[in-house]
Structure 1
């Protein structure tokens, strides 16, 4: 059995997942919990980790893929040229290990950094420097201490600018 990537119609990942499951396919739809502004209010929303994509397990070369392509909510299987592309089991296992067992979603607000962690700064005006993680300000920003002009200076950076803890 091999994992394959299925492209779905916009906002129809759940519908496609349900119909593929009814057809007997093992389906994996990784999800993520995020804070989003909905009608002016901040809410925790669970949605697909990869919008418009999900994974199915099938026998590549022996299973007929026509029923998959004609499933409600499905556009097609992801291909390179005419070849359907298999996804390594290790990738699926990693994604599954990141899912919360209670919600079935990965928590996007969970920072991998702890106070005192040494962190590489990957982007922005301080790219290439290292800092000491001090605290998260919110889901998207954090305070770091970096050495500037011979002293520790507190800077606020966006989450995407930081590397993994060293």
Structure 2
């Protein structure tokens, strides 16, 4: 009977480890996460491992030889509790597989990194350094934010790449 175990990989080598374990007739599973991330001043969609440096492998203890796993390219070793490989409780990996988006073959995070009411800081442009309240995406790479300008709330559209999360403070950022 196959039981899921956890493999600890070398940094950023999860895909290499998965590929090489599959070549050795093991059944690996690497859950991936697609999410927006700010890189070089722009928001881009990235696909990364859900659990960096870890992947799952289905093992048949007592039948399969586990020694090749340790010398597999990209793998450090199986996660162990003492001398025995750690096992994942039944149903956990299956629920991760079921939660994946079948079209993207990965887990999805909301496409917009901000929700209505989130405090943001404008990082570039004529309003750079001013805190605002995120209102909504407006399309074509732009977003609407609410600014407190001269004592009045103004709705302004700016490039979505010009906003970042506001640092947390105890005072309100601007318009309520």
TM over 0.5: yes
Deviations 1:7-48 (A, max 9, x none): 000000000000001111111100101111122211000110
Q: Once the 2 structures are TM-superposed, how far is the Cα of residue 88 of structure 1 from its aligned partner?
A: 2.2
Structure 1: 5+ residue stretches without partners? 111-137, 145-154, 159-166
**2:113 is matched with which residue: 126, 130, 139?**
139
Q: Once the 2 structures are TM-superposed, how far is the Cα of residue 63 of structure 1 from its aligned partner?
A: 1.6
Alignment: residue pair count: 120
In the alignment, the residues of structure 1 paired with residue 62 and residue 115 of structure 2 have an alpha-carbon distance, to the nearest angstrom, of 47
Q: TM-score normalised to the size of structure 1?
A: 0.66
Q: 1:80 to 1:140 in 2, by over 3 A?
A: farther
Residue 91 of structure 2 aligns to a residue whose secondary structure is helix
Residue 15 of structure 1 aligns to a residue whose secondary structure is helix
Q: Once the 2 structures are TM-superposed, how far is the Cα of residue 61 of structure 1 from its aligned partner?
A: 3.0
Q: 1:140 to 1:63 in 2, by over 3 A?
A: farther
Q: Which residue of 2 aligns with 1:38?
A: 39
Ranges of 4+ aligned residues in structure 1 off by more than 3 Å: 140-144
In the alignment, the residues of structure 1 paired with residue 114 and residue 83 of structure 2 have an alpha-carbon distance, to the nearest angstrom, of 40
Q: Which residue of 1 aligns with 2:69?
A: 68
Q: Which residue of 1 aligns with 2:4?
A: 3
Q: Which structure: larger Rg?
A: 2
Residue 19 of structure 1 aligns to a residue whose secondary structure is helix
Aligned pairs for 1:1-166 within 5 A: 1-109=2-110, 138-139=112-113, 141=115, 143=117
Q: Once the 2 structures are TM-superposed, how far is the Cα of residue 141 of structure 1 from its aligned partner?
A: 4.8
Structure 2: 5+ residue stretches without partners? 119-132, 135-164, 166-176
Q: 1:75 to 1:35 in 2, by over 3 A?
A: same
Q: Which residue of 2 aligns with 1:125?
A: none
